[in-house]
Structure 1
Amino acid sequence: MHRGEADLDLAAVRAFVAITEDRYFSEAAARLGISQQAISKRIAKLESVLGVPLFARRHGGAELTSDGAAFLTHARVLVNTADQAVELLRSRRRALRVDVLDTRVAPIDLIRAFHETVPDVNIEIITSDGLRSARDALARGSVDAAFCRVGGTPGEELVCLPAHLEPAHLLVGRDHPLAGLRQVEIARLAGRTVWMPGNVTGSEWAEYHDLLSSEFGFRIDTTGPNFGYEHFVSKIASGERATSIVGENVRIPWHPDTVRIPLVDPVPLYPWSMLHHRRNHHPALALLAQHIIGRHRPFDPRHQWLPAPDRAAFTADPKRH
């Protein structure tokens, strides 16, 4: 017999595995979308190539022979390897799907900088509800990476890389008493009210601002509705809402009557992490992770502030994740 005549037919091996799982030729054929006659021919061909019977047909369904049981482990490996190879090739063709809160927030700058270094990688930006939706989306594979605040451990199946520490700015109207300062010590917010209409109950960013306000003695006002950035900025400019806090990198609409001032002593930082699933093997995902690790700057507790749940992740060496 020539070697080519003994090559295994992957379709026949897949049929063999399906029958071991369903026990009946008819049910396995239906799952594979072929006729019972076709699946029988595949098994007959496989048995001919291997030179041994694989099944004994009983009233309770097909039972593996001793040779069939010995072949099963290898058959599953063959099918799984083929499926992984196909998925790898498909993933190379499809876009890297990256989840962000909004296209105006800091992670967009990270993703844009990555794309400039590897312009041949196709990237699809998806906006969602942060960590609350990212966990399920990553588990389903509907997104490959997500940027959000984690505030602890994300779970065993998710890899969490510290991505960016974003300084906070105070946003005030031009007539506000603090508007003429080049920087504002955060202790000066004590006793004041900071308006944050986008702080959704249960979100990781609302939790962050609750921890920040508790640490430095100011109150968060979340009354809305939240009509978007333009409305938000106009309210601050008019003086109707006295102050708010925005990230240094967030792109809010310019308004002639608003002023953004860095907060200092210490500098409050918003911790952005990159999450991905351990079983996701999109080839561009590793490149993105390497890019994020290379740009990350660690937390400096002498001059900066993070909530206690975030400090461990942003103090550790990201290369060990």
Structure 2
Amino acid sequence: MAELDLGSVRAFVAVADNRHFGEAAAQLGITQQAVSKRIAKLESTVGSVLLSRLRAGTGLSRAGEMFLPHARTLLATADHALAVLTGRDRPLRVDVLDTRLAAAELVRDFYEAADEPDIDVVTSTGLRAARTALKTGKVDAAFARLTGSLVEDGLRSIPAHLEPAQVLVGTGHPLAGRDEVSMAELAGATAWMPGNAPDTEWTDFWDAVSAAFGVRIDSTGPNFGYEHFVGGIARSTDRIGFIGEQCRVPDHPGVVRLAVAPPRPTYPWSLLWHPDNEHALLPELVEHIRSGFRAHHVDGAWLPEADRAAFLA
């Protein structure tokens, strides 16, 4: 059985991307003659012409168009395997979703407890992006609310943190003079949350809160960031906002943060990683999070049914 040579596949993808043998050679750091030899070897192996040499440049043949996505997948897999084995000396890359959120504080705590190891904190668009990044080795660990099974992705997870919700109201809101409010009192209220993007794990969480406590979630309007969100709450006398207890929103003189009385919605953070990842710091991070998690630290926590078994056992 013929076997594909990765160098030849990489040369093919480079030519397909650049549409020119010379530019592909420059990208790969080899001669144009070497690129031609690699392409010839690949075409001989697969038994098809993959590239069409034209005056205006180089294009893909029909066979080349069919082979290209598979070639990209093959190289991505090979690059990930190499990164897993050779990337131990690089910084530990941890996805915290957003640097204002509780996950960033968990990483900061690990950073200080582990005598300031080399860490890169990165942000993402949530669990879906984190799954892909963990599988391809773009990140070493990720914090997210876990929904669904990790079996298909080959990932592992542990409970990381339970974060109670707080309520934001403007100083003109009837609740502004309170220190604490119950979810029963908020039934029928409208919570403005423009950051609740469709099909995300946090939107799913707040939809469950809405169903359980009768709070309407309004996610309309562009998400211009925390400053815009806090400013919008400050200008309103009737709507509220929900944030995590450890969320570092910008200070605003027109906004008050209220604690929520039990049962309080509590956001469940998990730590995810790929078991094949051999970064030297990853086991230390996993153990730090595992040993630090205490379900009973949050009395009166309310979680969606899907989260309760893992977090409140």
Does TM, scored on the shorter chain, surpass 0.5?
Answer: yes
Q: Which of 254, 257, 260 is the matching residue for 2:251?
A: 254
- 1:177 and 1:96, CA in 2 relative to 1: closer, same or farther beyond 3 A? same
Partner residue of 2:71? none
Which amino acid in the other structure matches residue 254 of structure 2? D
Unaligned stretches of 5+ residues in structure 1:
1-19, 34-82, 317-321
Counterpart of 1:138 (choices 134, 139, 147) is 134
**Superposed counterparts of 1:237-252, under 5 Å:** 237-239=234-236, 242-252=239-249
Contact map agreement 1:106 1:166 (CA 8 A) in 2: yes
Other-structure match for 1:198: 195
Aligned length: 245
**SS of residue paired to 2:242:** strand
* CA shift in 2, pair 1:241/1:180, >3 Å: closer
Q: What is the match of residue 60 of structure 2?
A: none
The 5 Å alignment of 1:38-187 reads: 90-155=86-151, 157-187=154-184
Measure how far apart 1:155 and its partner are. Answer: 2.5
Q: Distance in 2 between matches of 1:241 and 1:228?
A: 21
Structure 2 CA distance for partners of 1:285 and 1:172, relative to 1, 3 Å: same
State how far apart, in whole Å, the 2-side matches of 1:225 and 1:86 are. Answer: 41
Deviation at 1:277, TM superposition (A): 0.8
Q: 1:290 to 1:132 in 2, by over 3 A?
A: same
Provide the C-alpha distance between the structure 1 equivalents of 2:7 and 2:170, rounded to a whole number of angstroms: 70
1:290 maps to a residue whose letter is E
TM-score by length of 2: 0.72
Task: Tell me by how many angstroms 1:257 deviates.
Answer: 1.1
C-alpha displacement at 1:207, in angstroms?
Answer: 0.5
**Structure 1 position 28, deviation (Å):** 9.3
Pair member with larger Rg: 1
1:186-207 deviation per Cα after TM superposition (whole angstroms, max 9, x unaligned): 1111111111110001000001
Asked if structure 2 preserves the Cα contact closer than 8 Å seen for 1:22 and 1:28, the reply is no
Offset of residue 304 of structure 1: 1.4
Residue 291 of structure 1 aligns to a residue in which SS? helix
**Alignment of 1:22 onto 2:3:** yes
In the TM superposition, what whole-angstrom CA distance separates every residue of 1:247-279 from its partner, at most 9, and x where no partner exists?
100010001111000111212100111000121
1:88 Cα offset (Å): 6.7
What is the CA–CA distance in structure 2 between the aligned matches of 1:187 and 1:151, rounded to whole Å? Answer: 27
**What corresponds to 1:66 in structure 2?**
none
2:285 to 288, 292, 316: 288
1:127 and 1:110 mapped to 2: Cα distance? Answer: 14
Counterpart-to-counterpart distance in 2, 1:85 and 1:271: 31
